[in-house]
């Protein structure tokens, strides 16, 4: 079917004007948080650029789906969570959140490159990797099932008396919010008032389908109220805003505030996957506010606030590029699984699970 040209106003969401929470100033100026979140953004971008090259060179079996342009909100979420306590279910555009939550580079490169030494033993590809014992279950689906998985984990923790102080977080795209899985998971999480944080990354398209063909409400944050979630809007291209809003939502979930839904407005600065050139994204939208690169915005913000310097950022870039090269080279020399010797029982039924 041919896509019809639409006026640019269809694609131009309003810039959020939410009242900042009381702790904005203090939180936004938390140097350690911001430096750490920014480093995760940078590392994810460098890693994903490398994955894209490997894909184009035919070195990766399966697809490559990037989070380019979505790193700020993802990194803010991964940084706001507590490793060893919280549960995080990242989606395909959450490399920055994965890095922030402690996933090692080698776990990523081994999975993409099919090494039997990876967390999925070379049996699952690309983004379908995780370490359940570290609080990061392997990703199942981009379209809503991950929310039920995280709320189920929280519910099980409650039944075992282990939920105190724990937050579960996951993400969903704008398109995923129209699935039955999304509705069921949010409905039950609202009924149970689970400490769940759902970040909706509204990148304006579900593959090539624009927002106006997906839902009839003005802003997806309106859905939060219907499920009994607290709703937050944020500019997903702005690291300071994302850190403030996500940090506050996570804090509220942790301290009995019930489930939280954050809607981040942004644009993906890549195709749906690396096989897609995103031809359907209008130029006016790319040139608009949400077409700005969150990494460049964050650099300006952090340098202007004296949180880092251009020289330090260049050093990080060099260091991360070298780290990525090393992780790729190591995974490339490792053997794939041997299908005749592999024990094909589900990885999740093995003990110790996936250590």
Ligand X SMILES: Cc1ncc(C[n+]2csc(CCOP(=O)(O)OP(=O)(O)O)c2C)c(N)n1
Is 173 one of the binding residues for Mg ion (CB under 5 A)? Answer: yes
3-state secondary structure at position 330: helix
Choose the one of Mg ion, ligand X, none that binds residue 93, judging by a C-beta under 5 to 8 angstroms depending on kind: ligand X
Choose the one of Mg ion, ligand X, none that binds residue 90, judging by a C-beta under 5 to 8 angstroms depending on kind: none
- Closer residue to ligand X (CB): 211 or 260: 211
State the Cα angle at 266 between 11 and 63, rounded to 5°.
Answer: 100
Q: Where are the alpha helices (DSSP H) in the chain?
A: 24-28, 31-56, 71-80, 95-100, 105-112, 145-159, 180-192, 222-227, 239-254, 283-287, 294-304, 310-332
Of the residues 203, 233, 237, 244, which one makes contact with Mg ion according to CB under 5 A? 203
Choose the one of ligand X, Mg ion, none that binds residue 68, judging by a C-beta under 5 to 8 angstroms depending on kind: none
3-state secondary structure at position 270: coil
Q: How far is CA 262 from the centre of its chain?
A: 12
For residue 176, what are the β-bridge partners?
Answer: none
Is 71 one of the binding residues for Mg ion (CB under 5 A)? Answer: no
For residue 169, what are the β-bridge partners?
Answer: 88, 197
Is 119 one of the binding residues for Mg ion (CB under 5 A)? Answer: no
Q: How far is the CB of 274 from ligand X (least distance, A)?
A: 13
Q: How far is the CB of 146 from Mg ion (least distance, A)?
A: 15
Residues that bind ligand X (CB under 6 A): 93, 142-143, 173-176, 203, 205-207, 272
- Closer residue to Mg ion (CB): 107 or 235: 235
Choose the one of ligand X, Mg ion, none that binds residue 143, judging by a C-beta under 5 to 8 angstroms depending on kind: ligand X
Residue span binding Mg ion (CB under 5 A) among the ranges 28-36, 99-107, 204-212, 214-222: 204-212
> Which pair of structure tokens corresponds to residue 264?
């981040």
Binding site for Mg ion (CB under 5 A): 173-174, 203, 206
């Amino acid at each position: 079917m041919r896509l019809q040209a639409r006026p640019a106003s269809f694609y131009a969401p309003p810039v959020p004007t939410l009242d900042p929470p009381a702790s904005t100033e203090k939180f936004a100026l938390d140097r350690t948080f911001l430096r750490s979140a920014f480093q995760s953004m940078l590392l994810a971008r460098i890693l994903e650029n490398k994955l894209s090259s490997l894909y184009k060179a035919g070195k990766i079996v399966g697809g490559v789906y990037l989070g380019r342009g979505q790193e700020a909100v993802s990194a803010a979420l991964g940084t706001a969570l507590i490793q060893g306590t919280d549960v995080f279910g990242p989606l395909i555009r959450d490399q920055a959140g994965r890095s922030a939550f402690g996933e090692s580079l080698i776990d990523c490169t081994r999975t993409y490159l099919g090494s039997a030494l990876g967390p999925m033993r070379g049996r699952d590809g690309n983004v379908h990797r995780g370490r359940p014992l570290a609080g990061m279950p392997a990703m199942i689906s981009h379209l809503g099932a991950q929310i039920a998985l995280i709320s189920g984990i929280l519910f099980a923790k409650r039944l075992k008396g282990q939920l105190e102080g724990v937050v579960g977080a996951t993400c969903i795209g704008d398109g995923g919010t129209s699935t039955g899985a999304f509705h069921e998971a949010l409905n039950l999480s609202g009924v149970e008032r689970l400490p769940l944080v759902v970040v909706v990354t509204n990148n304006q398209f579900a593959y090539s389908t624009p927002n106006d063909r997906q839902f009839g409400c003005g802003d997806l944050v309106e859905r939060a109220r219907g499920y009994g979630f607290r709703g937050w809007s944020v500019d997903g291209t702005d690291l300071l805003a994302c850190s403030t809003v996500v940090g506050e939502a996570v804090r509220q979930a942790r301290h009995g505030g019930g489930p939280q839904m954050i809607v981040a407005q942004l644009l993906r600065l890549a195709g749906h996957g690396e096989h897609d050139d995103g031809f359907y994204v209008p130029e006016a939208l790319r040139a608009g506010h949400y077409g700005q690169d969150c990494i460049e915005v964050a650099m300006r913000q952090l340098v202007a606030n004296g949180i880092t310097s251009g020289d330090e950022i260049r050093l990080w870039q060099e260091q991360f590029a070298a780290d990525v090269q090393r992780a790729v080279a190591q995974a490339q020399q490792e053997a794939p699984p041997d299908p005749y010797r592999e024990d094909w029982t589900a990885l999740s039924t093995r003990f110790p699970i996936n250590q």
